[in-house]
């Protein structure tokens, strides 16, 4: 019985059947992991998905970490209606142009045809501005700092679970300020909140930058994003923050009286992250065996697997295993006992590996005799990561072990990103290198929308963002050849 | 300056202007409190509302207390799609009959007319059964215990904020079991979870019972509810739990192989509470001055109001006030400092009274000199409730004070309900007494749907539920005169 040893050849083969090798077909590997880890399932409505309990608990953990940060920066949660009068969407001209093709429209309600069709919100700038214009009248009402956790709908023709779905869950922050300066500070503050969350909770290093004109949010003056590198070198836009200027304020007459009694438009921001973050965690950390979850956001941080052959051993080992879980639980660690009788320890190892649980503790007869346990961190699979630890003092060590796994996962992701980030001088060079070496390409940039189209046609890559954190200096734009101080990241993206 | 004394005549008059006397017009009082406490605002789409930050934080506190109870009873959260194919709704015949008149229908998506219209979920039994039939194949997959926090839409012609809105937020539990017995136990367990929440968190005593045939959920075998008494003696159905039998399982072929390899239908339950609970808290506890919130679910449990006349006093009093808030905060109490310069202490007292904050702590020059504070519990307004307490040991006392307010509020609500609960023998007697003395009427009951219609026509009251907790015995049905052991509560209801 191979229960306490590393994966057997048989188990490896079984896994290989279920989860495609990511080096061979990364897209299929992604779908396989989502299915095998039971994160999501496809819905009977095209483009929609069901978020299964394990996937949802991962989202809940991320949501909580984000919500704390929003409240700590002075924001309150509120809830605005799902339905928006169609006429609202048209009030801001760029906004309607951007969203019209993606709308779901309710034409009938309560058995009757509606006088005005209702749009299922694709985002809530319009309805929120309608309310802001009612609530805001004086500089004393500002800043107004709101956030909403909600579902939104954008019709999706090429859905991928978590990355692009017709309905998705997200949060959308909406704020109104007296001055441009304050609103710009807010947009930047929330971008940095997203960066902090990505790095310190999800262990995903991100690049922060400004979007180009052609990639910015429909209705924004400027958009900013965090961009993460996935396992295949592609980029995933993982959060955005927008300075909206007075665009929506003008469309909805959202004004206030300043201290000198002058009527002024408010300056606004909006910012959001979505269930797409679940996809980011899968693709930034997953490996051949499945998910790997950073301890801070893992729904289950530690799983304890008892191993026994005889009934005689069974009682003692189960009892001791349950005790460990209970003590960990009391210490605030999300621990679970896998005491299933119907499956083998080998099956359990695989089961929890696929689900990415950061730390497995095995307790077998030899362990019990030696008053020790076997520790298997998910981020270093197989014999290499395994070690034996005395039972005494174990619970005190677990938080440190989890912290160390968290830090290692961030460092691993950072190292991979650095290894897959390149400097590039010309479009020709990019065309040549990108197919062989996917990754982030740093370049000087001074192009326009037309140049971006050329770039995409030639390489399928896009300008992910214009870097905020960059060294001084300038160089020749990799497309136009003009001197520029703008440094960008170019990559294939989801 | 009347800042540290009880409400002045002027303040009382101002309040009276803003909030209608509930004894004169309870319905208008309810709307006034919702507006003045900034719980909600009406939306540009008929029947919808905006839940404002203060109202949403109250919902968040209730949500957390409920979610903990769901998880403690073994349930996991998941998320199912907003859109349901129209054909799904029709699969269970009673279900479609009940919900068809209330549906919102999406006919266009992504700029095209859809082949099959999509219904915006009014509840999720159908789509969840579609998935259950995929996920459940063996007795080993049972019980399946899921819950979802979501928005749902039921077209509403006579909306009232929180009580009846076209879109509302809720949780819906959905479970599948091997046997009828297990499913019935689950339906009862969750009813008792709701009762426990209502009593111990919201300080609202509730009656638990079974719904009559004509009031049960469309598609259920039996429905159960908790019924709370509002300030005007009307009932509010505040939570429901349904035993669905195999109705949806048959419609969606949700079957499993039992231990003897026989194919069987699963037995199911569903159960839900909604943002209607916010309305319950308003109407069960509110008074002439506005909201009164039970400490356990109050977004702000303690407000500290500094009172000073000179700049000299200002610095010291503000400093000490901030210190109190910070120490309370460290002790896990949701405390807030109202240090606004722009409004008077009297304005602040009114502001926090309207919002129902359970405990106000005033700190004025005399207090500071005596190393004391003035304590004003919201549930006993005016001089009667006020007391002076030494600053030393204050923080240790606050949790006890809050517990005691919580307990008093429950006892007050219980006393009022008892005072407004009557025994009634005949329909004639009810017709006579109900208009003068609104409340809960206990009666024997052995009628059918036709008798229920007669009752409603004669009195506008309905059978709220057939009591679960009742003494032994029997008596003559108050409508039919037939002997029965069924005891019911009859009341006007929202």
Q: 3-state secondary structure string, A389-401? A: EECCCHHHHHHHH
Chain A positions in Cβ-Cβ contact with residue B342 (cut-off 8 Å): 140
Q: In this structure, are B347 and B269 located in the same domain?
A: no
Give the total residue count for chain A: 494
Model pLDDT, residue A378: 97
Give the one of B101, B103, B131 whose C-beta lies nearest to A41's C-beta: B131
Check CB contact under 8 Å for B48 and A77.
Answer: no
Check CB contact under 8 Å for A52 and B78.
Answer: yes
Check CB contact under 8 Å for B106 and A102.
Answer: no
* A386-435 pLDDT per residue, tens: 999 999 999 899 999 999 999 999 999 999 999 999 999 999 999 999 99
Give the one of B44, B77, B100 whose C-beta lies nearest to A53's C-beta: B77
Q: In this structure, are A455 and A336 located in the same domain?
A: no
Residue A457 per-residue DSSP state: H
Kind of pairing, strands B462-467 and B440-444?
unpaired
Neighbouring CB atoms inside 10 A of A189's CB total: 15
Identify the band that residue A96 occupies on the pLDDT scale cut at 50, 70 and 90: confident
Check CB contact under 8 Å for B41 and A131.
Answer: yes
Q: Token pair of A30, please?
A: 């992604």
Distance from CA of A93 to the nearest CA of B (A): 18
Distance from CA of A233 to the nearest CA of B (A): 30
In a domain, B223, yes or no: yes
Find which of A68, A81, A136 to mutate to test the B interface (most B CBs within 10 Å of its CB). A81
* A214-232 pLDDT per residue, tens: 999 999 999 999 999 999 9
Give the one of B79, B84, B107 whose C-beta lies nearest to A50's C-beta: B79
In a domain, B295, yes or no: no
The rounded mean pLDDT for chain A is: 94
In a domain, B384, yes or no: yes
Q: Which residue has the tokens 């189960």?
A: A318
Find which of A67, A79, A134 to mutate to test the B interface (most B CBs within 10 Å of its CB). A79
Check CB contact under 8 Å for B106 and A120.
Answer: yes
Residue A108 has pLDDT above 50, yes or no: yes
Domain that includes residue B443, residue range: 421-491
**Which of A263, A285, A307 marks a domain boundary?**
A285
Q: In this structure, are A468 and A386 located in the same domain?
A: no
Check CB contact under 8 Å for B48 and A81.
Answer: yes
Q: What distances in angstroms separate CA A449 from CA A237, A465, A474, one per listed residue?
A: 19, 14, 21
Model pLDDT, residue B5: 40
Name the burial class of residue B303, with classes exposed (0-12), middle (13-18) and buried (19+) by CB atoms within 10 angstroms of its CB: buried
In a domain, A151, yes or no: yes
Is B66 within 8 Å of B273 (Cβ atoms)?
yes
Q: In this structure, are B121 and B201 located in the same domain?
A: yes
Distance from CA of B392 to the nearest CA of A (A): 29
Kind of pairing, strands B267-274 and B387-390?
unpaired
Check CB contact under 8 Å for B108 and A107.
Answer: yes
In a domain, A414, yes or no: no
In a domain, A411, yes or no: no
Chain B positions in Cβ-Cβ contact with residue A41 (cut-off 8 Å): 131, 134-135
Chain A positions in Cβ-Cβ contact with residue B76 (cut-off 8 Å): 53, 56-57
Q: In this structure, are A143 and A201 located in the same domain?
A: yes
Segment A41-60 shows an average pLDDT of 96
Chain A positions in Cβ-Cβ contact with residue B115 (cut-off 8 Å): none
Give the one of A45, A84, A109 whose C-beta lies nearest to B118's C-beta: A45
Q: How many CA atoms lie within 13 A of B17 on its CB side?
A: 6
Check CB contact under 8 Å for A83 and B118.
Answer: no
Check CB contact under 8 Å for A103 and B118.
Answer: no
Give the one of B41, B131, B151 whose C-beta lies nearest to A82's C-beta: B151
CA–CA dist A382, A8 (Å, integer):
10
Q: In this structure, are B430 and B481 located in the same domain?
A: yes
Distance from CA of A142 to the nearest CA of B (A): 14
Distance from CA of A459 to the nearest CA of B (A): 28
Check CB contact under 8 Å for B110 and A127.
Answer: no
Give the one of A77, A83, A107 whose C-beta lies nearest to B167's C-beta: A83
Give the one of B52, B103, B146 whose C-beta lies nearest to A53's C-beta: B146
Q: Token pair of B490, please?
A: 């009859």
Q: Which residue has the tokens 């229960």?
A: A3
Q: In this structure, are A478 and A346 located in the same domain?
A: no
Q: Token pair of B266, please?
A: 């699963």
The domain that contains B308 carries what CATH number?
3.40.50.800
Long-range contacts of residues B475-478, Cβ cutoff 8 Å, at least 24 apart? B475/B444, B476/B425, B476/B444, B477/B443, B477/B444, B477/B445, B477/B446, B477/B447, B478/B424, B478/B425, B478/B426, B478/B427, B478/B429, B478/B430, B478/B443, B478/B444, B478/B445
Residue of B nearest to A147 (CA): B53
Q: In this structure, are B216 and B252 located in the same domain?
A: yes
Q: Which residue has the tokens 């979850």?
A: A293
The domain that contains A273 carries what CATH number?
3.30.930.10
Name the burial class of residue B89, with classes exposed (0-12), middle (13-18) and buried (19+) by CB atoms within 10 angstroms of its CB: buried
Check CB contact under 8 Å for B81 and A45.
Answer: yes
Model pLDDT, residue B95: 84
Give the one of A103, A146, A150 whose C-beta lies nearest to B53's C-beta: A146
Model pLDDT, residue A93: 85
Model pLDDT, residue B10: 53
The domain that contains A446 carries what CATH number?
3.30.110.30
Check CB contact under 8 Å for A41 and B102.
Answer: no
Neighbouring CB atoms inside 10 A of B1's CB total: 9
Segment A182-210 shows an average pLDDT of 98
In a domain, B411, yes or no: no
Q: How many CA atoms lie within 13 A of B485 on its CB side?
A: 6
Model pLDDT, residue A11: 52
Residue of A nearest to B99 (CA): A110
In a domain, B415, yes or no: no
* A121-165 pLDDT per residue, tens: 999 999 999 999 999 999 999 999 999 999 999 999 899 999 999
CA–CA dist B342, B348 (Å, integer):
10
For chains A and B, CB pairs below 8 A equal 160
Q: In this structure, are B29 and B129 located in the same domain?
A: yes
CA–CA dist B209, B78 (Å, integer):
29
Check CB contact under 8 Å for B105 and A100.
Answer: no
Q: In this structure, are B107 and B154 located in the same domain?
A: yes
Model pLDDT, residue A472: 85
**Which of A351, A377, A404 marks a domain boundary?**
A404
Find which of A38, A47, A83 to mutate to test the B interface (most B CBs within 10 Å of its CB). A83
The alpha carbon of B328 is separated from its chain's Cα centroid by a whole number of angstroms, namely 28
Sign of CA dihedral A97, A99, A104, A107: negative
Chain B positions in Cβ-Cβ contact with residue A118 (cut-off 8 Å): 45, 104
Check CB contact under 8 Å for B77 and A57.
Answer: yes
Find which of A54, A63, A77, A82 to mutate to test the B interface (most B CBs within 10 Å of its CB). A82
Per-residue pLDDT of chain B (494 residues; tens, 9 = 90+): 333 344 444 555 555 579 999 999 999 999 999 999 999 999 999 899 999 999 999 999 999 999 999 999 999 999 999 999 999 999 988 888 889 899 999 999 999 999 999 999 999 999 999 999 999 999 999 999 999 999 999 999 899 999 999 999 999 999 999 999 999 999 999 999 999 999 999 999 999 999 999 999 999 999 999 999 999 999 999 999 999 999 999 999 999 999 999 999 999 999 999 999 999 999 999 999 999 999 999 999 999 999 998 888 899 999 999 999 999 999 999 999 999 988 999 999 999 999 999 999 999 999 989 999 999 999 998 889 999 999 999 989 999 999 999 999 999 999 999 999 999 999 999 999 999 999 999 999 999 999 999 999 999 999 999 999 877 899 999 999 999 999 999 999 99
How many domains are there within chain B?
Answer: 3
Is B357 within 8 Å of B324 (Cβ atoms)?
no
Model pLDDT, residue A17: 72
**Which of A404, A436, A459 marks a domain boundary?**
A404
Q: In this structure, are B251 and B216 located in the same domain?
A: yes
Task: Give the three-state DSSP class for B435.
Answer: coil
Identify the band that residue A320 occupies on the pLDDT scale cut at 50, 70 and 90: very high
* A461-474 pLDDT per residue, tens: 999 999 998 878 99
Is B269 within 8 Å of B243 (Cβ atoms)?
yes
Distance from CA of B459 to the nearest CA of A (A): 28
Q: In this structure, are B429 and B309 located in the same domain?
A: no
Q: What distances in angstroms separate CA B126 from CA B91, B121, B190, one per listed residue?
A: 8, 9, 21
Query: Closest Cα partner for B169 from A77, A454, A108?
Result: A77
Chain A positions in Cβ-Cβ contact with residue B102 (cut-off 8 Å): 110
Distance from CA of A300 to the nearest CA of B (A): 13
């Amino acid at each position: 019985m191979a229960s306490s040893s590393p994966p057997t050849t048989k188990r490896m083969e079984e896994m290989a059947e279920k989860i495609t090798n990511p080096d061979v077909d990364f897209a299929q590997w992604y779908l396989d992991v989502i299915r095998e880890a039971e994160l999501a399932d496809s819905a009977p409505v095209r483009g929609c998905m069901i978020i299964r309990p394990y996937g949802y608990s991962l989202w809940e953990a991320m949501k909580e970490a984000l919500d704390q940060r929003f409240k700590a920066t002075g924001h309150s949660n509120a809830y605005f209606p799902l339905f928006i009068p169609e006429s609202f969407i048209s009030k801001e001209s760029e906004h309607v142009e951007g969203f019209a093709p993606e709308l779901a429209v309710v034409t009938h309600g309560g058995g009757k045809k509606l006088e005005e069709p209702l749009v299922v919100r694709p985002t809530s700038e319009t309805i929120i501005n309608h309310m802001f214009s009612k609530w805001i009248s004086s500089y004393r009402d500002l800043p107004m700092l709101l956030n909403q956790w909600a579902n939104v709908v954008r019709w999706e023709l090429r859905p991928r679970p978590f990355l692009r779905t017709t309905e998705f869950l997200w949060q959308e922050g909406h704020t109104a300020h007296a001055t441009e300066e304050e609103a710009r500070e807010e947009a930047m503050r929330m971008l940095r909140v997203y960066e902090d969350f990505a790095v310190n909770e999800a262990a995903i290093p991100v690049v922060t930058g400004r979007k180009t004109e052609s990639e910015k949010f429909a209705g924004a003056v400027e958009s900013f994003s965090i961009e993460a590198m996935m396992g295949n070198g592609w980029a995933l836009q993982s959060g955005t923050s927008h300075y909206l200027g007075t665009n929506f304020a003008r469309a909805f007459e959202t004004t206030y009286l300043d201290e000198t009694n002058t009527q002024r438009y408010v300056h606004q921001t909006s910012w959001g992250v979505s269930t797409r973050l679940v996809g980011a965690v899968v693709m930034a950390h997953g490996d051949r065996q499945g998910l790997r979850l950073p301890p801070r956001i893992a729904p289950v941080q530690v799983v304890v697997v008892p191993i026994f052959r005889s009934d005689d051993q069974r009682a003692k080992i189960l009892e001791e295993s349950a005790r460990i879980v209970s003590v960990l639980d009391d210490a605030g660690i999300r621990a679970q006992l896998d005491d299933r009788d119907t499956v083998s320890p080998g099956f359990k190892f695989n089961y929890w590996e696929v689900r990415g649980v950061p730390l497995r503790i095995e307790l077998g007869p030899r362990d019990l005799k030696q008053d020790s346990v076997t520790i298997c961190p998910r981020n270093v699979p197989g014999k290499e990561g395994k070690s034996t630890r005395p039972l005494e003092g174990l619970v005190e060590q677990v938080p440190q072990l989890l912290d160390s796994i968290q830090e290692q996962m961030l460092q691993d992701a950072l190292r991979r990103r650095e290894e897959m980030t390149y400097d590039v001088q010309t479009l020709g060079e990019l065309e040549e290198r990108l197919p062989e070496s996917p990754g982030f390409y740093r370049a000087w940039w001074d192009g326009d929308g037309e140049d971006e189209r050329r770039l995409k046609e030639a390489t399928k890559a896009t300008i992910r963002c214009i870097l905020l954190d960059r060294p001084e200096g300038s160089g020749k734009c990799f497309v136009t050849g003009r001197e520029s101080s703008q440094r960008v990241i170019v990559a294939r993206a989801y």
